[in-house]
Amino acid sequence: MTATATPTTAQTRTLPRFGGFSLGMLALELRRLIRNKRTVIFTFIMPAVFFLLFGTSANYKHEQVGNGNVTGYVMVSMAVYGAMLATTSGGAMVSIERAAGWSRQLRLTPLRPAAYIGVKLVLAMVIGAVSVAVVNVVGAFTGAELDTGPWIACALLSWVCSLVFAAFGLFMGYLLPSENVMQILGPALGLLGLAGGLFVPVDKLGSTLETIAKFTPVYGVGEVARYPLTHSDNLWQAILSVVVWTALFAAGAIWRFRRDTARV
């Protein structure tokens, strides 16, 4: 009696396109984020309130800066601050997910680590865009004056340069414990905003603090974002600051991410 061998068909696992990155996953993450009322207040409302408090003085509306007024200058600074808060909080969400075990569960799925990081970065930039838009809309109705081209350019640069803080948020999200991440980052961003010239122009801080300010991550972002309005002489120094800080925070996020995934 001869045994007949039956061929077996190997089951191949189909990996998702783009490593699992999808608009559906992004929409799910976005809905989960905006359900958090503290996040909405912290990232969308507070920067606009700060602008109304600090930037709508009658004197500011009539005092010129570049091709706009001081109210417009403050509006751009507060748009940068709002983008900072939004992108940092979006990136730092990984800390909460790590503590809840969600990121560990995702590693058991076909979702690629790069796609997971990509979703977080895109999510951070989306909510950063909303924060910038809110401040600019409020500014348009409360006396901010800029020419149309510089206004659009300032808004776009405020948003694009906030990528620095999306990387910063990811780095801190992997570095800090979840129960403390936003309690630490909230005041830290306020201090960075003050030191970097968002609340007070750096030339008003005194020579020593002005020198220190130029080495903060906020300084470059603010200078680049306001350039279409002010035409500052420090553009290339500011661009270098943005590039260097983005690279440093991204490298830190990758380092911590690899250490985190190595434990699984």
User: Over the stretch 38-84, which tens digit does the pLDDT of each residue have?
Assistant: 777 878 899 999 999 989 888 888 899 888 999 999 999 999 999 99
Distance CA 254, CA 213 (A): 27
Residue predicted with more confidence, 40 or 132:
132
The strand pairing partners of 68, in sequence order, are 65, 146
* 3-class SS of residue 146: strand
> pTM of the full predicted structure?
0.84
Please give the mean pLDDT across all residues of the chain. 81
Query: Residue 48 has what pLDDT?
Result: 93
Residue 113: pLDDT over 50? yes
Is there a contact between 175 and 252 (Cβ–Cβ < 8 Å)? Answer: yes
Domain locations along the chain:
19-262
Query: Residue 18 has what pLDDT?
Result: 47
Closest by CA to 245, choosing from 209, 220, 210, 212, is: 220
Is there a contact between 55 and 74 (Cβ–Cβ < 8 Å)? Answer: yes
* Range with top average pLDDT, 101-110, 171-180, 221-230: 221-230
Query: Residue 80 has what pLDDT?
Result: 96
pLDDT digits (tens, 9 = 90+) for 145-167: 999 999 999 999 999 999 999 88
Residue 107: pLDDT over 80? no
